[in-house]
Chain A
Amino acid sequence: MLIEARGIEKVYSTGKVSVTALENIDLQIEKGEFLAIMGPSGSGKSTFMNVLGCLDKPTAGSYILDGEDIADKSDNEMAEIRNKYIGFIFQSFNLLPKLTALENVMLPLIYRGTPTRERVARAKEALRAVGLEDRTSHLPSELSGGQQQRTSIARVLAGNPPLILADEPTGNLDSKSGAEVMAIFQRLNSQGHTIILVTHDEDIARHSQRIITFKDGQIVRDRRVDEPLAAGAGAEAEEREQAV
């Protein structure tokens, strides 16, 4: 069991008004799962992702990540957990604009204290894994959207965390780049990475094995995908559609 959430609640209180963003969430995720979280905006899925990503603590309930309870961790310990256990992929890539692709990919390793030589080697290896070995010294602004997202995937791979959290990873990409990114996710999943994907796009969600739907801060549906879409095939199907 990689993730065990029990009775998680998140309440934001600003003065007298308090807003319940999450209400009594129970969820278990096994190692190696590929899971999509869906739901309309304001349904609490982003808040839940922040909790899963150890960026935020729940107001009540317990979140156990790989056997460790997050509730009693300090901010710095949470930072360490993020560094070792979690890889983030964002809709807007969130690469540092003044650093090259290689330097961006090395960032998690810098905060882990990895020696320079090993850091460079692992970052290069990660960039090769996403097919960007010839773009190492490019700045993010010199890369296409798809390439930037692949760079941020490489940044995750360099750190090699057990859990990958992707928040609308294809939201800013054209369908071809999106398909490439989904193909990489499926490949990583087949290599044993646990992936949690937030999306509101049913087609994207169907690439995963399990879809959880949020509504008003609660999980309203948890279903298995019998036959996940294969990313490459999906893209080809779409191209055929466009041709017709």
Chain B
Amino acid sequence: MNILESMKMAWFSIMGNKLRSFLTALGIIFGVGAVIALVSIGQGATMDITNRISSMGTNLITITSFRNSGARLQIDDAAELLERVPSINAAVPSITFSKTIKWNSKTYDASLEGVNESFPEVRNVKVATGRFFEKEEVEDRQRFAVIGNTVVEELFENVNPIGQSLLIDGQAYSVIGILEEKGSSMGRDSDDIVIVPITLAQRLSGSKYVNTIYLQAKSAEYSELAVNHVTAIFTQKFKRENMVRVSSQDELLETINTASQTMSMMLGAIAGISLLVGGIGIMNIMLVSVTERTREIGIRKALGAKSYDILRQFLVESVFLSVSGGIIGILLGAGISKLITYFAGWQTMISGTAILISFSFAMAVGLFFGGYPAYKAAHLDPIVALRHE
């Protein structure tokens, strides 16, 4: 008897008991669906974070002072680093704070960031309309502002903001540029921002210190060298180690990738357990089916079916169940991830590897858990089986 006949028989048997077959496959359907959905959520999150870190700038190095360390960063530190560290291109000191800004009669609580002219290049930010401020304008404390899209929408309805004057702390800042939209991710709106020259931000925030200094390494290869160099400079300056955190983008990416890979795998493993439970469901039903069909097995054997004909018939049936459960599960999982993206706005990524692995796992589950019932059927004594009521 060839495999095609076995498949035909399995098909008849499955279709002859549609509800039961469906319920049996349901365990596999949910198992595979869960694996696909969870892994795609995990991978989507990884991709989202990776993209966001990459979009922060190219070859970006970030310096922040450790809280409670007492160390403070100053504007001049940026200039000094640019001078002393040959492996970097640019340095941007940054102060962030909140202020209420006004235009005409409207007010808006905005996040302000004071930076220098290198900000667009280092932080990978583009100006959509207008321009960013120049080096001289920063030095001359020109009251210029470059604003994000959210601020535009909040304050300037149907008005071109370029050339308008914003009131910050009672002083007029002329809007000279609008940033390209970056969108929001993980609940933070990157477009809700007003950028002013750092020389003015110092006064506005009432602090002579800066929160962060951004550096741009000359290339990815120089990145590590620059990190070491900068770390050494600050260790020397504060006469102690670990006063500031100097981290490169690559490092950060690596850490996050490792962490999220682990997360994806754990999600997958948890979902894999439900696949196993689905397999046990298949075994259960196949055992019932063998008992129910004992007489049929006896008849087939009397008519000349060999043990492996019977074995194959039942194995094909359980693999049929698990594989079709796997296929439906893949569709279900993909559908769930699409729905999550649509309704919750989470980024998901349906992974080909996850599909392949869970599909082959489903098939293996069918083979493994169908194996024992099939073996049992194949080795029934035909005389006993024929007498079975």
Task: Determine chain A's interface SS by DSSP, over half rule.
Answer: helix
Least Cβ–Cβ distance between A3 and chain B, in angstroms:
18
B273 interface hit (Cβ, 8 Å): no
Task: Tell me the bound Cα distance from A145 to B308 in angstroms.
Answer: 32
The contact of A84 among B13, B16, B296, B304, by CB within 8 Å, is B304
- Do A83 and B304 touch (CB < 8 A)? yes
Q: Which among A82, A95, A113 has the greatest number of chain B C-beta atoms within 10 A?
A: A82
Contacts A50-B383, A55-B383, A98-B16; is A112 near B302 (CB within 8 Å)? no
Cβ of A155 < 8 Å from any Cβ of B? yes
Q: Are A82 and B304 in contact (CB under 8 A)?
A: yes
**Cα distance, A96 to B313, chains bound together (Å):** 15
Give the complex CA separation of A51 and B133 in angstroms.
Answer: 103
Q: How does the 8 Å CB contact mask read for A78-104 relative to B, with 1 for contact and 0 for none?
A: 011011100010100011101100000
Cα A95 to Cα B302 in complex, Å, equals 12
The 9 A-B residue pairs with the shortest CB-CB distance, nearest first, are: A83-B304, A111-B304, A76-B306, A79-B306, A108-B303, A94-B299, A82-B304, A111-B305, A55-B382
Partner of A79, one of B13, B295, B299, B301: B301
Which of B16, B305, B308 has the largest number of chain A CB atoms within 10 A?
Answer: B305
Name the residue on A nearest B378 (C-beta): A75
Q: How far, in whole Å, are A184 and B234 apart by their CA atoms in the complex?
A: 107
Q: For the complex formed, measure the closest distance between the CB of B383 and the CB atoms of chain A, giving whole angstroms.
A: 5
Sample of 9 further A-B pairs with CB below 8 A, known A55-B302, A90-B386, A113-B1: A56-B383, A94-B299, A94-B386, A96-B300, A110-B5, A111-B1, A111-B300, A111-B303, A159-B303
Distance A212 CA – B54 CA, assembled complex (angstroms): 94
Task: Give Cα distance in the complex from A99 to B13, angstroms.
Answer: 10
- Chain A residues with CB under 8 Å of B383's CB are 50, 55-56
Interface mask (B1-21 → A, CB under 8 Å = 1, otherwise 0): 110010000001100100000
Minimal beta-carbon separation of B140 from chain A (angstroms): 92
Inside 8 A of B260's CB, which chain A residues have their CB? Answer: none
Decide if A39 is an interface residue (CB 8 Å cutoff). Answer: no
Q: Binary interface profile of B, 216-256, with partner A (CB < 8 Å = 1, else 0)?
A: 00000000000000000000000000000000000000000
In the bound complex, residues from chain B placing their C-beta under 8 Å from that of A159 are: 303-304
What is the interface of chain A, defined by CB distance below 8 A to chain B? 50, 53, 55-56, 75-76, 79-80, 82-84, 88, 90, 94-96, 98-99, 107-108, 110-113, 155, 159
Residue in chain A with minimal CB distance to B5: A110
B2 pairs with A82, CB closer than 8 A = no
A82 to B309, CA, bound (A): 14
28 contacts between A and B (CB under 8 A): A50-B383, A53-B302, A55-B382, A55-B386, A76-B306, A76-B307, A79-B301, A79-B307, A80-B304, A80-B306, A82-B303, A82-B304, A84-B304, A88-B303, A90-B386, A94-B298, A94-B299, A94-B302, A95-B299, A96-B300, A98-B13, A98-B16, A110-B1, A111-B303, A111-B304, A111-B306, A111-B309, A113-B2
Within 8 A of A (CB), among B180-235: none
Residues on B with beta carbons closer than 8 Å to the beta carbon of A82: 301-304
Residues of A within 8 A of B382 (CB): 55
Q: Contacts of A107 on B, CB cut-off 8 Å?
A: 300, 303
Which residues from A are CB-within-8-Å of B305? 79, 111
Q: Residues of A contacting B307 with CB < 8 Å?
A: 75-76, 79
> Min CB distance, B19 to chain A, in Å?
16
Residues on A with C-beta less than 8 A from B300 are: 96, 107, 111
CB-based nearest B residue for A108: B303
Contacts of B303 in A (CB 8 A): 82-83, 88, 107-108, 111, 155, 159
Q: Residues of B contacting A50 with CB < 8 Å?
A: 383
> Are A112's CB and B304's CB within 8 A?
yes
* CB of A165, distance to nearest CB on chain B (Å): 10
Most buried by A among B301, B302, B306, B386: B302
Which residues from B are CB-within-8-Å of A96? 296, 299-300
Distance of A224 Cα from B290 Cα, bound (Å): 45
CB atoms of B12 and A98 under 8 A apart: yes
